[in-house]
Amino acid sequence: MNAYKQLVERHEEIATLSSCAALLSWDQETYMPAKAVTYRAKQRAYLSQQSHMLTTAPEVAKWLDDCGPCADDTIEDANVRWWRHAHARATKLPTDLVGAIEEATSLAVNAWQDALAKDDFGLFQPHLQTIIDHNRRKTDLWGYEESPYDALLEEYERGARASQLSSLFGELRPELVSIVEQAVAQSKSKPAKSLKGDYPIPAQQAFNREVCEAFGFDNEAGRIDTTTHPFCSRVAPHDTRLTTRYDETDFTSSLFGVLHETGHGLYEQGLCQECFAQPQGTSVSLGIHESQSRLWENQVGRSADFWNHWLPVAAKHFPHLANWTPEEMTRAVNQAALTFIRVEADEVTYDLHIMLRFEIEKQLIEGNLKVQDLPEQWNATFKDLTGLEVTNNVVGCLQDIHWSIGALGYFPTYSLGNLNAAQLFEAALAQTPSLNGDLAQGQYASLLVWLKSNVHQHGCRYLPNTLMEKATGRTTGSEAYLKHLRSRYLTG
Amino acid sequence: MNAYKQLVERHEEIATLSSCAALLSWDQETYMPAKAVTYRAKQRAYLSQQSHMLTTAPEVAKWLDDCGPCADDTIEDANVRWWRHAHARATKLPTDLVGAIEEATSLAVNAWQDALAKDDFGLFQPHLQTIIDHNRRKTDLWGYEESPYDALLEEYERGARASQLSSLFGELRPELVSIVEQAVAQSKSKPAKSLKGDYPIPAQQAFNREVCEAFGFDNEAGRIDTTTHPFCSRVAPHDTRLTTRYDETDFTSSLFGVLHETGHGLYEQGLCQECFAQPQGTSVSLGIHESQSRLWENQVGRSADFWNHWLPVAAKHFPHLANWTPEEMTRAVNQAALTFIRVEADEVTYDLHIMLRFEIEKQLIEGNLKVQDLPEQWNATFKDLTGLEVTNNVVGCLQDIHWSIGALGYFPTYSLGNLNAAQLFEAALAQTPSLNGDLAQGQYASLLVWLKSNVHQHGCRYLPNTLMEKATGRTTGSEAYLKHLRSRYLTG
């Protein structure tokens, strides 16, 4: 067998283990009995340890070497390049550091929950310090050219650099702040009709499913369950699972949860299912993934076109919506307000929350901010961005789980997702003359076809910025996004 | 590390893999999207292959040897004896035979489904022949003293022998046939009130759960889902999952499904959860397992005591039951009738279906019945047992999945379960003076305590017949069971 085939086989074995692990995680969030949690951790640790062993085994290095230069644009070359990158990163981390990080994060998550419950940053501070220290050791082992932060970013967004993000955000910020000010003022002066009402969960489920299937999600190769925090997980080929949560007084909470996760799910279903075990069959980055969820949630789901088509359907499921107009509904789901919590932020203010986190975590990793000074720095930066005064750390620097699980460099991919979503949607509209008309009629096939052929089907064949360039003619920028926000929020 | 500790560690690894496999199976029956089935088979095959490798690796034989004689009554000795037995059986089967059996059964299941749909035994016949041939090869490799059937029985019921079952059934049959005749006649002459009505599924779920928890099932270490065929699966320590199915016109279908599976579930929850990976923490046999499900379903759930207590509760969930008396309900759930389908048979006629299957599969394995003559032999034996004429193989020899999946020697454990249930219940009553009064008040803790200390906690420490002897003073017999049936069915 040649080296490439050996690599394919090895990664099939690794993918089998990972897909078992994915089911264990999904089950843990959805149906697992509470008392099963200790053994579940043991199962997951075992599977990840087996995967790591298979990934870093000496024969893999040899097979990768034997594959030669791989400078061409073939799928095989792209797979080998991707495997080499992943293999180099995995083998650079000594086993003791991997174990230490696992232990530190499992302690840190508990400490973070405790700190959040008691609004006591001090309980979390030493754990966060350990996590920062481990991550700085990681950046040294992985290596970087400009900022140690780049080495962490690379885990979520290959090719992204702190300097590039800084200039993107620098470009975005002044315009965004001005749009936010106007949008918030408009929402305040002309408040939308209240959505509060009685929305039985089975009716919400039926409506959500109808929209989700209209978008093109294949429910024979996926499903929708209920969890506190919505997510999408591809468990295996032809097995992509979404979740949402229900508010019986407001159907839009579960709906936009489903639309967002459906966007992720359509990406997973649009990947080559037969190459599940290869980079070619895997999503390329978080910034591209989030572009898919944001596009279906925001560009599509919060548009006037969407509600022109779907309000009458919604009114069948929720009879008291019969006296709403599509315009009223569109306004109701596009209200802007400055608030403290990222996960509750609306479309237009969301990126301010990300800019804050990016600044903070970059400074922490670059050594320009001490962990003990984090709350103060958070509050000052937040005030600078929003004008709001953070009065406690629960609505401030303790609100997110990310740092406690060791995820540094993750946050900016949310904003990359927003920028990419607008840029991809603009390109799809420009390249598909029928698209505007299709969307007005609740027809989504042409949009999905465009996304599949320009994004999904490529898997990891191109790095994110190359993918964006091929699909839209340019790398990720803020132009299309600002245009989208202006046209949505400043014309009311 | 000494050899025993090595064995413990190895079996912890195997148990981790098996518990992943158990979740994959459970998920496949409950929530898995239809199109995920092909990859799921691949995942399961991989895990079972890994388990097999770890079980039969050469170092395991060495560790087992190093453990010495193990003739004592300690838990460690009992574990080693059990491991030796399992290891010997696993290593006696060559890999090519294991693979051939896997392939043959996967083809046979499809052929069986096809044959069943078309009522065409000929479609299944060659596959059944292959399965019989493979199983005979297995019996030669495993070895046996009296009948090759014994070698297969051993897989499900250690220590059981065809000769012993023949004499048990020989003892049971004449009396049972006479009870059946009288019970069926009584049910015909004084038909019970009809249960048919409107039972919404959420109300059934709430009632089932109330009873299940009253029996002592811990829903924080388990759950109840919906499947076509009810089952119980211990996925992991503190994670035992039951299923049932719902008939919206008759609540007793899901209820007795749940009571039956709860019996299995209480056994699994009563085992030592910390020794999940050791024989000590594992159920000992199907005949003992089924005794637990049958005891809670039949001895408890179909008794007058049960309905005296639970009918008022049921009437809260299903208001139209308000005009029923406990006596009417008890009669309604204890009707006897001779029918063709085993899984639909009532308590009193059930064992006739098992005797038939035991006779047939024993003859097939001993070479006294040709596969081609199976339908004829089935129909003749069934007529002999019940007086009923089988008019097609769908309600005859094609009705069960067992043979198509290669499970020969499995059927008789259902009857062993019935016999053991009655014998254990009788012993529990004799040894627990308060029990009768407790059951009348819907208090089940004393029964569960007795079962835990006499059955559950021992795991595989004693072979089934020794366990029965320790708990009840004698090995499995038909006396208590016949007494139970007589008192339940012949006093109406």
For B95-115, the pLDDT digits (tens) are: 889 889 988 998 999 999 999
Q: Distance between CA atoms of B225 and B210, rounded to whole angstroms?
A: 15
Q: Both A18 and A122 in a single domain?
A: no
Mean pLDDT of B439-460: 98
Q: Tell me how crowded residue B39 is: count the other CB atoms within 10 A of its CB.
A: 20
Q: Both A278 and A303 in a single domain?
A: yes
Q: CATH number of the domain at A432, please.
A: 1.10.1370.30
Residue A448, domain extent: 98-492
Query: In A, which residues are within 8 Å of B220 by CB distance?
Result: 33-35
- Selected residue of B26, B238, B240 to mutate for chain A interface (largest A Cβ count, 10 A): B238
Q: Both A243 and A265 in a single domain?
A: yes
Q: Both A187 and A54 in a single domain?
A: no
Known active-site residue B366: no
- Across the interface, of B39, B221, B225, the residue whose CB is closest to A236 is B39
Q: Distance between CA atoms of B154 and B175, rounded to whole angstroms?
A: 28
Domain end call among B57, B74, B92? B92
Residue B115 lies in a domain: no
Residue B350 lies in a domain: yes
Buried b (16+ CB within 10 A) or exposed e, A95-134: eeebeebeebbeebeebbeebbeeeebebbbebbbbbbeb
Query: What is the C-alpha R_g of chain B?
Result: 23
Q: Both A286 and A190 in a single domain?
A: yes
- Tell me the whole-structure pTM to 2 decimals: 0.95
**ipTM of the complex in this document:** 0.94
Q: Both B87 and B219 in a single domain?
A: no
Residue B208 lies in a domain: yes
Q: What is the pLDDT along chain A (492 residues), one digit of tens a residue?
A: 799 999 999 999 999 999 999 999 999 999 999 999 999 999 999 999 999 999 999 999 999 999 999 988 899 999 999 999 999 999 999 988 988 998 899 899 999 999 999 999 999 999 999 999 999 999 999 999 999 999 999 999 999 999 999 999 999 999 999 999 999 999 999 999 999 999 999 999 999 999 999 999 999 999 999 998 999 999 999 999 999 999 999 999 999 999 999 999 999 999 999 999 999 999 999 999 999 999 999 999 999 999 999 999 999 999 999 999 999 999 999 999 999 999 999 999 999 999 999 999 999 999 999 999 999 999 999 999 999 999 999 999 999 999 999 999 999 999 999 999 999 999 999 999 999 999 999 999 999 999 999 999 999 999 999 999 999 999 999 999 999 999 999 975
- A47 touches B: beta carbon within 8 Å: yes
For B159-208, the pLDDT digits (tens) are: 999 999 999 999 999 999 999 999 999 999 999 999 999 999 999 999 99
Q: Both A156 and A12 in a single domain?
A: no
Q: Both B219 and B73 in a single domain?
A: no
User: Catalytic positions of A, please?
Assistant: 261
CB A409 within 8 A of CB A148: no
A35–B221 C-beta distance less than 8 A: yes
CB A334 within 8 A of CB A389: no
Q: Both A29 and A107 in a single domain?
A: no
Residue B145 lies in a domain: no
**Alpha-helical runs (H) found in B143-285:** 148-153, 162-189, 201-215, 251-270
Domain end call among A66, A92, A118? A92
The per-residue pLDDT for A73 is: 87
- Across the interface, of B20, B32, B238, the residue whose CB is closest to A239 is B32
Q: Distance between CA atoms of A56 and A49, rounded to whole angstroms?
A: 11
Q: Both A112 and A25 in a single domain?
A: no
Total domains present in chain A: 2
- A33 touches B: beta carbon within 8 Å: yes
Q: Both B87 and B186 in a single domain?
A: no
B221–A39 C-beta distance less than 8 A: no
Within the 247-286 window of chain B, which residues sit less than 8 Å (CB to CB) from chain A? 276
Q: What is the DSSP string of B400-467?
A: -SGGGGT--S-THHHHHHHHHHHHHHHHHHHH-TTHHHHHHTT--HHHHHHHHHHTGGGTTSS-HHHH
Question: How many residues are given for chain A?
Answer: 492
For residue B34, count CB atoms less than 10 angstroms from its CB and return exposed for 0-12, middle for 13-18, buried for 19 or more: exposed
Domain end call among B92, B114, B144? B92
Q: Distance between CA atoms of B419 and B295, rounded to whole angstroms?
A: 10
Q: Both B168 and B43 in a single domain?
A: no
Q: Distance between CA atoms of B160 and B469, rounded to whole angstroms?
A: 14
Least confident of A121-130, B37-46, B301-310, B320-329: B37-46
Q: Distance between CA atoms of B396 and B119, rounded to whole angstroms?
A: 10
The per-residue pLDDT for B73 is: 87
